[in-house]
Structure 1
Amino acid sequence: MASLTGVRGAIYFPARSHNHYQSWAAYDPRVAANDLDYAKRLNLNAVRVVLSYHWWRENRRAFADAFDDFLLRAENRGIRVLPVLFESIGEQPTNARRRPTGDAPALKSPSGATVRRPWRWDGPREFTRWVANRCTDPDVVLALEIMNEPGEYEPRVNFVREMLRVADRAAPAVPLTVGCKDVRLNTQFSDPELDVYQFHMNLPPTEQRARREIRDAVTFARTHGKPVWLTEWQRLRRSPRSKLRPDYASLAPIIRESALDGDFFWQLMLKPAYMRKQREKGRINGLFHADGAVFSAADANALAKLPQSESRGDTVPESVEWTERQKPPKGFDAGGN
């Protein structure tokens, strides 16, 4: 098994996509190449990407071409991919909501009706096997994440347990994980066990609280003999910068000096918030504009800085020359329009 430690990553949706369906239905190889180059400038070695079960069902060939292209481009840059097969967050994935509009919501995958009805799981099982069989190279794929934030809802937990079994049978050597919001929820999954634990800490109120949450998560994971990744983080809630704007510099130093085995910040590309309610308030997340300018040079420097253990004694520049543009993205629409 390839190393599950020393992971430095970001969540990735293209700048013009609101959800997983748009990301893959409007996949553009040139955009992916540029965005992965931006990740490389930050010294990242991983990206966390939500796949689209619904686009795969509609056009398997197009999805396969896009996914294979993305994996190849990431591999060429020394970036490993953490594919997320299913998503619990968002609205029900109706046909209308999958239309390529500029205000499309985050989408569940699969639908709640499918999750609640085990007799409808054949499609998700086939998708899980299909993805697992494509993700066997540890130099390309970091692990398979079965679902983002399944929580404790019993039908969803049972769904994830079944897909873990399917993935384990299809590709036994591929590490498995689940996007748990609370690190303790990882222990819900024991047949098979997870290879790496996750937790989320998007908006801790203070430095003290952030340090405590990280320390507690690391201690819990070590007790169970597992590496642990913080797979969603953004900023301190209490910081001088507007609460509706990114401020990765407020939290990055705490994460870089921690004992975490990996982290993924939310998110690489600058865009309106993932959840429609937060989007309507004017919240934006991310670092890079589509043209490569950054929203905040301070954030970019904080994210790019390597821990001393990774710099191997070399002097790492405190700052890089970034083109800064502290404005929300203009003319947002879906599918690159």
Structure 2
Amino acid sequence: MTGRDRWTDEQAWNWYQEQEWPVGCNYLPSTAVNPTEMWQAATFDPETIDRELGWAADWGMNSVRVFLQYLVWKDDPEALAERMDRFLEIADDHGLSTMFVLFDDVGFSGDEPYLGPQKDPIPDTHNSQWTPSPGHERVVDRSTWPDLADYVRDVVRRFRGDERIFCWDTYNEPGNSKMDERSNPLLRESFTWAREADPIHPITAGVNWDPNRSEQNRIGSEEADVVSFHDYSDFAFTRHRVEGLKEEWGRPLLCTEWLARTRDNLAESHLPYFKREGIGCYTWGFVNGKLQTHLPWSTAQTSIAEAIEEEDTDTWFHDLVHDDGTPYRPAEYETFRRYVVDDEDPPSLEAIAALAPGADPETIRTATDVDVSAEDQAGPYHE
């Protein structure tokens, strides 16, 4: 089956320069515990989605990144497409484009995905019922791949010319949840299947989430039209990574996950930096709800939490607003409004660095001065 080729550097930049600066969030309605609950017929909640995306627009956001679940498609492709169209309609009404995520290895719950009523969130636990897509067993069982190929081709082809869509993310954090290199073959195939659907939109993948995963990062970046990365590190290391990615790939960059307050990954420092560098950016989370990602990774129920030192649970880790729309930190709301709505020019790199916690304006390090291991900054677990 034929499809389009990977975009050239020139095609990628021509497309990106036609876009407004992409600023948004990873969105799941506060009433859903995972993407399965978001997309199943019984729990699809357009009223909540409409209300919460209105809040996102008020923050100045113009795009959202949204996870799909393969099993919901497998159960009823037509019904999922109708709900996706309804979501796109709501988002577009609020001036928001959408990046759909097709596959995902993250599995905080420890369960394979399943249909029907989803388990309730475990109190005081980070992202306790998140399941992967299509599920770790299917990732390594190639007898399931014809169905996975049909899923990718069908979803992308249905919306291949839809201007409400910003981008396609074929695979979020391949290798997460101890999948490691076993996800690499499906990662590569996911690009092939998406290109066979010949979308007008760019194709990317949520790689570069762990700087140590060199092979996955290479596959996901060399196949992508625009290059994605995730960053939950402090400003000095973020800058170090961005400069490396720019030099290595020379393509538009999208930071499709960021914001981790207790790791000094902050709106005050990172948002103006992303604007200064022309990098699209999507915070992890928006409304604090059943996902409970305001709590740190160390509260996760999986064994990975044992690898993390106890973290501050009083300060919100991710998310921006309470479930009534009130900002967790009004200063963050003002920061978004200043740089997105008011389109204020970002300050110098030195001034941004001075905003970082503990920064000494007299001795600010440059990116090449950073002396910190990638493993320390990546953290043992991401969304």
Q: TM-score range by the shorter chain?
A: 0.7 to 0.9
Distance 1:217 1:297, change over 3 A: same
Aligned to 2:252: 227
User: Equivalent of 2:182, from 143, 150, 155?
Assistant: 155
Which residue type is aligned with residue 322 of structure 2?
A: H
Q: Does the CA contact (< 8 Å) of 2:261 and 2:318 recur in 1? A: no
Hey, what's the Cα distance between the residues in 2 that align with 1:212 and 1:92? 36
Q: Does the CA contact (< 8 Å) of 2:102 and 2:171 recur in 1? A: yes
Q: What are the ranges of 5 or more consecutive residues in structure 2 without an aligned counterpart? A: 1-10, 123-127, 302-310, 346-383
Question: 1:140-179 residue pairs with structure 2 within 5 A?
Answer: 140-151=164-175, 153-179=180-206
1:121 Cα deviation after fit: 0.9
- SS, match of residue 125 in structure 1: helix
Aligned to 1:21: 36
Hey, what's the Cα distance between the residues in 2 that align with 1:98 and 1:109? 17
Distance 1:236 1:188, change over 3 A: same
TM-score, length of structure 1 as denominator length: 0.78
Distance 1:118 1:256, change over 3 A: same
Hey, what's the Cα distance between the residues in 1 that align with 2:344 and 2:335? 15
Q: Does the CA contact (< 8 Å) of 2:254 and 2:281 recur in 1? A: yes
1:266 aligns with 2:273: no
1:264 Cα deviation after fit: 0.7
Distance 1:275 1:122, change over 3 A: farther
Hey, what's the Cα distance between the residues in 2 that align with 1:123 and 1:182? 29
Q: Does the CA contact (< 8 Å) of 1:129 and 1:166 recur in 2? A: yes
User: Equivalent of 2:299, from 264, 270, 278?
Assistant: 278
Aligned to 2:350: none
Aligned to 1:304: 337
Aligned to 1:188: 219
1:278 Cα deviation after fit: 2.9
Question: 1:51-200 residue pairs with structure 2 within 5 A?
Answer: 51-90=68-107, 91-95=110-114, 99-103=118-122, 104-137=128-161, 139-151=163-175, 153-180=180-207, 181-182=209-210, 185-189=216-220, 193-200=223-230
Aligned to 2:267: 248
Aligned to 2:58: 41
Hey, what's the Cα distance between the residues in 1 that align with 2:31 and 2:273? 31
Q: Does the CA contact (< 8 Å) of 1:235 and 1:250 recur in 2? A: no
Hey, what's the Cα distance between the residues in 2 that align with 1:182 and 1:279? 19
- SS, match of residue 268 in structure 2: helix
Count of aligned pairs: 300
1:33 Cα deviation after fit: 1.0
Aligned to 1:201: 231
In percent, how many aligned pairs have the same letter? 23
- SS, match of residue 139 in structure 2: helix
1:133 Cα deviation after fit: 1.3
Choose between structure 1 and 2: higher helix proportion: 2
Q: Does the CA contact (< 8 Å) of 2:69 and 2:103 recur in 1? A: yes
Q: CA RMSD in A?
A: 3.0
Hey, what's the Cα distance between the residues in 2 that align with 1:174 and 1:256? 22
Q: What are the ranges of 5 or more consecutive residues in structure 1 without an aligned counterpart? A: 240-245, 313-337
Q: Does the CA contact (< 8 Å) of 1:128 and 1:167 recur in 2? A: yes
